[in-house]
Amino acid sequence: MYESAEYTQPINLGVDAGSKTIGISAPAEKEELYCAEAELRTDAADLLSARRQFRSARRNGKTRYGKPRFSIRVRPKHKGWLAPSIGHKIQTHIKTADDVHKILPAAKAVVEVAAFDIQKV
């Protein structure tokens, strides 16, 4: 944010990508410069489901015995398509890392991704 001397130390950005919370940390050589947790919206799937039900009720109220049209059912899932809930999760991870990068000039980002089997735990 302001001019300083040329004495800089390398900063790594650590991101723990959880299913409900995102843990983010920026440690330096001797101390931790930044540490935070971000909550993900968990009700996004419920909101999308409710919106789909209301839209279906609006559309089906007018055509009770109409011929089924398959061209308006679902848009095709092309390559690179993600479900809205997964897309929201990825965008939240990227936005959180970008917000930290605006404050601290992190040279490298380390993302911890682990799959757990809850039944074995």
For residue 71, name the pLDDT band (cuts at 50, 70, 90).
low
On whether residue 105 sits in a domain, the answer given is yes
CATH number reported for the structural domain that contains residue 106 in this entry: 3.10.20
Beta strand pairing status for 108-112 and 32-39? unpaired
Instruction: Tell me the two tokens of residue 83.
Output: 């479900």
Say which residues have a Cβ less than 8 Å from residue 88's Cβ, sequence separation at least 6: 40, 41, 44
On whether residue 43 sits in a domain, the answer given is yes
pLDDT at site 77? 67
On whether residue 33 sits in a domain, the answer given is yes
On whether residue 66 sits in a domain, the answer given is no
Helices (H), 1-121: 44-60, 84-103
Domains: count for the chain: 1
On whether residue 70 sits in a domain, the answer given is no
pLDDT digits (tens, 9 = 90+) for 75-104: 666 777 787 778 888 888 888 888 888 888
Domain boundaries, position 112: 10-61+85-121
pLDDT at site 12? 85
On whether residue 3 sits in a domain, the answer given is no
pLDDT digits (tens, 9 = 90+) for 1-39: 677 777 667 788 888 887 778 888 888 888 888 888 888
Q: Does the pLDDT value for residue 73 go beyond 80?
A: no
